[in-house]
Amino acid sequence: MTAQTDGFDRNSSPQHKKPGAEHAQAALPDLYRHVRARSVELIDGLSDADATVQSMPDASPAKWHLAHTSWFFEIMVLHRFVADYAPFDPRFDYLFNSYYDSVGERHPRPARGLLSRPTLDEVLTYRGHVDAAMAQLLRGAIPPQALALIELGCHHEQQHQELLLTDILHLFAANPLRPAYRAAAAPLPASDAAPLRFASIDGGMVEIGADGTGFSFDAEGPRHTTFIEPFDLATRLVTNREWQDFIEDGGYEDPRLWLSDGWAMARAQNWRAPLYWEQREGQMLVMTLEGMQLLQPDAPVSHVSYYEADAFASWSGMRLPSEFEWELAAGTVKLDQMFGAVWQWTRSAFAPYPRFRASSEAVGEYNGKFMSGQYVLRGSSLATPEGHSRPSYRNFFPPHARWQFTGLRLTRDGQGPI
């Protein structure tokens, strides 16, 4: 097995270089095929059992990700735009609905891991059935509404590709055997970290949100104006070494550093380090997609919750950036590790932009209904598919979530221009 097929190589899609052109029907079949093939590549090496088990209610089985992303095309596109579409199995409407209340009942989320049937092979056959129908649709003239939904389905599937990896990691980390997903999946950069420095950024009236030149999710718009005060943003992410300093300085024992909810959670769950860190015989190891590895002090810290990120920032005498500060920096100055290492917690609650309106159709449930109890993360991670992120991208998770590839970038109130 070569590194190319072993890792889930984030640079493997040269055909997907021009996101601005995706809306054109010409590019869509390629995008569709590329994304669909990528999902199947990701489960290479996983057994039917690996792909079936659910390690916690927040995670989903790999098989479920494969099926649900097909369900999305079946329900949102094929049922509506292909007159004589014959569903693969009508019971899948129920089995693989994630959270769309408007399209009917669904299998309960915490019970996704009970589905030893359909088998992984049957799910792959289901994917083939959907792909065949989609291929036929894509060969003809497609209504603009369908085009938009197909494009959305591709980006939706990319989101699930990242979740598939984080969920597999969580499953394997719960197994005392600590199996590796792959020998060379996608290690975090571990070369010497640069000294911690800050870029000073002028605020002012700035434009925020997707600019309409390529695909974006509904929650990335409408583009609008906001006012930002001057701030300084770290030129790189917080490292494992810095997190070890926080631990050694009693960061997990000092309630004054923590948000009240965070302190309660940290005590209830007995948090003492990022998820997946494991002290063994005097060494600090960390569970990764490559199995148990020595902790790399210069790599960005990962698998920390918002609560921990906020406590770390308080301990540092600084704070987390707002999502607008992050987006402004991403668009105007060149900082390291903005994309491709770990998602970066912002202090911004996930909320609608001014004049945001969710669609009245089923896809209106995509983002809008999650706009409470979640914080925005910006950037992307080592597990994010190539081409899936951008400066306006708004990822979101609840503040206690730790199983994603999540870290932080320090910020402080500014004095003036860079």
**Residues at the site binding a second copy, with contacts judged by CB under 8 A:** 47-53, 55, 91, 94-95, 99, 101-102, 107, 111, 113-120, 171-172, 174-177, 179, 205, 224-227, 229, 255-256, 258-263, 306-307, 310, 319, 347-349, 351-352, 354-355, 364-365, 369-373, 375, 399, 413
Using the minimum distance from each CB to a second copy, give the nearer residue, 339 or 345. Answer: 345
Q: How far is the CB of 258 from a second copy (least distance, A)?
A: 7
Using the minimum distance from each CB to a second copy, give the nearer residue, 310 or 386. Answer: 310
Using the minimum distance from each CB to a second copy, give the nearer residue, 262 or 387. Answer: 262
Using the minimum distance from each CB to a second copy, give the nearer residue, 240 or 348. Answer: 348
Rounded-to-integer distance, Cα 159 and Cα 362, Å? 18
Beta bridge pairs of residue 200: 232
Which secondary structure element, helix H or strand E, spans residue 71, and what is its range?
A: helix 62-73
C-alpha Rg value of the chain to the nearest Å: 22
Cβ atoms within 10 Å, residue 207:
12
Using the minimum distance from each CB to a second copy, give the nearer residue, 100 or 339. Answer: 100
Q: How far is the CB of 95 from a second copy (least distance, A)?
A: 6
List, edge to edge, every strand of the sheet that includes 283-288: 277-280, 283-288, 291-294
Q: How far is the CB of 10 from a second copy (least distance, A)?
A: 26
Q: How far is the CB of 415 from a second copy (least distance, A)?
A: 11
Rounded-to-integer distance, Cα 160 and Cα 43, Å? 12
Q: How far is the CB of 217 from a second copy (least distance, A)?
A: 16
Q: How far is the CB of 153 from a second copy (least distance, A)?
A: 21
Using the minimum distance from each CB to a second copy, give the nearer residue, 407 or 414. Answer: 414
Rounded-to-integer distance, Cα 287 and Cα 40, Å? 24
Read off the tokens for 102. 């408007």
Using the minimum distance from each CB to a second copy, give the nearer residue, 67 or 299. Answer: 67
Q: How far is the CB of 94 from a second copy (least distance, A)?
A: 6
Say which residues have a Cβ less than 8 Å from residue 271's Cβ, sequence separation at least 6: 252, 265, 305, 308
Read off the tokens for 412. 């402080």
Using the minimum distance from each CB to a second copy, give the nearer residue, 333 or 371. Answer: 371
Q: Which amino acid appears at position 122 of this protein?
A: E
Cβ atoms within 10 Å, residue 194:
12
Q: Is 141 helix (H, G, I), strand (E, B) or coil?
A: coil
Using the minimum distance from each CB to a second copy, give the nearer residue, 148 or 264. Answer: 264
For the chain, the distance separating the N- and C-terminal CA atoms, rounded to the nearest angstrom, is 48
List, edge to edge, every strand of the sheet that includes 343-349: 395-397, 375-378, 343-349, 406-407
Q: How far is the CB of 157 from a second copy (least distance, A)?
A: 21
- Going by the DSSP 8-state scheme, the letter that residue 25 receives in this structure is T
Q: How far is the CB of 140 from a second copy (least distance, A)?
A: 32
Q: How far is the CB of 272 from a second copy (least distance, A)?
A: 18
Rounded-to-integer distance, Cα 68 and Cα 66, Å? 6
Question: What does each C-alpha distance from 3 to 9, 12, 203 come to in angstroms?
Answer: 8, 12, 43
Cβ atoms within 10 Å, residue 1:
11
Using the minimum distance from each CB to a second copy, give the nearer residue, 51 or 338. Answer: 51
